[in-house]
Amino acid sequence: MANWHDSSEATYLLPPLREDWEGHGIPDFVYRQEDLLAGEIQWPRNSPAVLGALPLSRFDSAVCTAWRQRMELGLFRYCLGNLQTQILPGAVGFVAQLNVERGVQRRRPQSIRSMRQAFDPKEFNFTKIQQGETLFRLRREPDLPGAPGQEDILVMINVSPLEWGHVLLVPEPARELPQRLLPGALRAGVEAVLLSRHPGFRVGFNSLGGLASVNHLHLHGYYLTHRLPVEGAPSKRLDPGGRLHLLQALPAPGFLFYTCSAGPELEALVSRVCRATDYLTDHDIAHNLFVTRGAQAGKASPSSALTGVRVILWARKSSFGVKEGEAFNVALCELAGHLPIKTSQDFSSLTEAAALTLIEDCLLPPAQVEEVQAALVALVTQEEQDSFSR
């Protein structure tokens, strides 16, 4: 089986024709701890962060080369060109993009009735995708002989892409896991961000009731060549140890977790976030999660420097099914400030105030937010006490 561990370029390991991958299995992208780029990444100061204008990592090259090839072979539902983009006037800095094809041609979301709905093999799931939609297997080698490595994650194209390089990160599909965040999946998502040298590669998760359209465990990853409000927004510490912050700025307040390390600190963050999402799921509270490079928690960063990784978690009202007739549906990217717009009319007329109204309508009432905040602070405090007692 091919792998890209010792190669700086993935291009020549990708089959040039559809028939070449049939019967040859899925190639591996193997990485180690030292491949995780945990140091500071910067946005270009005087030029756009287009994919061809920045140095790419081995991971970026693998994703972009394979993704472009699948687009040329017609495996997507539509051909994604350069999306018309504008920054909405106002204090937030919403990045609005016109993506009519996604609004029209994406697969109809599954009928979700419960936050804890079981996996249903009769519904669409990622064991039913076309051959060739899987780009590669993301596989981390253990740091020490005999130590467990990261579980294998399949990187697949999203056939109805939001933006260039839009992929899905799917733990072994045959396990038939429902859409409930697990530590192995989140760890892979954070490490995918750290594998990329591009400041605009983000990863996110939508829960059931949080506009997940497929009840089969997956995360989204995609490139967006624009800064987003959540990267540098200020936050306040919620616990004495500073492990949990409240992101205070618009477009929506959320719970902020941060790491600037790819070692044990990352493992602790993954555990902390999954405790939080388990609490939300067990209490039937829908949620969205966004992973991006950003400023240190507790600090705002108006500069181009991104010192670590921010994981932002929003608890929100449950929403089952796509709402027709609205400019956009509120899920992981919209809460972060990226607005894929469905129609030209909405794209030309949307204002910051109207966008904020749509988002605020999806948020929990203040009393419930306070209840969730108290519960998450208690979880983090208990974790801190447990670590001291060990």
- 250 band by pLDDT with thresholds 50, 70 and 90: confident
Dihedral over alpha carbons 50, 129, 212, 183 (to 10 degrees): -80
In contact, 136 and 29? CB cutoff 8 Å: yes
What is the spatial order of strands in the sheet that 254-259 belongs to?
Answer: 28-31, 134-140, 153-157, 167-171, 219-223, 201-206, 286-294, 308-316, 254-259, 245-247, 235-237
Q: What is the largest CA-CA distance in the chain?
A: 59
Instruction: Sketch out the chain's domains with CATH numbers.
Output: 44-111+120-389 (3.30.428.70)
In contact, 235 and 298? CB cutoff 8 Å: yes
Residue with the bigger pLDDT between 354 and 22: it is 354
Question: Quick one: which of 330, 201, 313, 202 has its CA closest to 253?
Answer: 313
The pLDDT value recorded for residue 155 is: 98
Task: Tell me the pLDDT of the chain averaged across its residues.
Answer: 88
E strands along 219-361, which residues? 219-223, 235-237, 245-247, 254-259, 286-294, 305-306, 308-316, 338-341
Selecting among 198, 216, 218, 220, the annotated active-site residue is 218
Whole-number Cα distances in Å, 330 to 44, 148, 357: 29, 37, 11
The pLDDT value recorded for residue 229 is: 92
3-state secondary structure of 170: strand
Spatial distance between the Cα atoms of 309 and 294, rounded to a whole number of angstroms = 6
Spatial distance between the Cα atoms of 251 and 291, rounded to a whole number of angstroms = 16
pLDDT tens readout for residues 208-235: 999 999 999 999 999 999 999 999 999 9
Question: Quick one: which of 374, 375, 358 has its CA closest to 317?
Answer: 358
The pLDDT value recorded for residue 190 is: 97
Query: What does the pLDDT average to over 82-111?
Result: 88
Residue 194 has pLDDT above 50, yes or no: yes
Residue 141 has pLDDT above 70, yes or no: yes
Residue 332 has pLDDT above 60, yes or no: yes
Write the CB contacts of 270 (distance below 8 Å, at least 6 apart in sequence). 183, 186, 187, 190
Pairing label, strands 28-31, 134-140: parallel
The pLDDT value recorded for residue 358 is: 96
* Token reading at 57: 């990592």
Whole-number Cα distances in Å, 321 to 104, 173, 220, 331: 15, 23, 18, 12
Q: Is position 218 annotated as part of the catalytic site?
A: yes
Whole-number Cα distances in Å, 68 to 14, 62, 135, 157, 368: 11, 10, 11, 10, 44
Residue 344 has pLDDT above 80, yes or no: yes
Residue 296 has pLDDT above 80, yes or no: yes
Express as a percent the part of the chain with pLDDT over 70. Answer: 86
Residue with the bigger pLDDT between 59 and 301: it is 59
In contact, 190 and 312? CB cutoff 8 Å: no
Residue 253 has pLDDT above 70, yes or no: yes
In contact, 201 and 284? CB cutoff 8 Å: no
pLDDT tens readout for residues 145-165: 555 567 789 999 999 999 999
Q: Give burial (CB, 10 Å; 0-12/13-18/19+) of 293.
A: buried
pLDDT tens readout for residues 256-287: 999 998 889 999 999 999 999 999 999 999 99
**Cα 187 from chain centroid (whole Å):** 12
Residue 46 has pLDDT above 80, yes or no: no
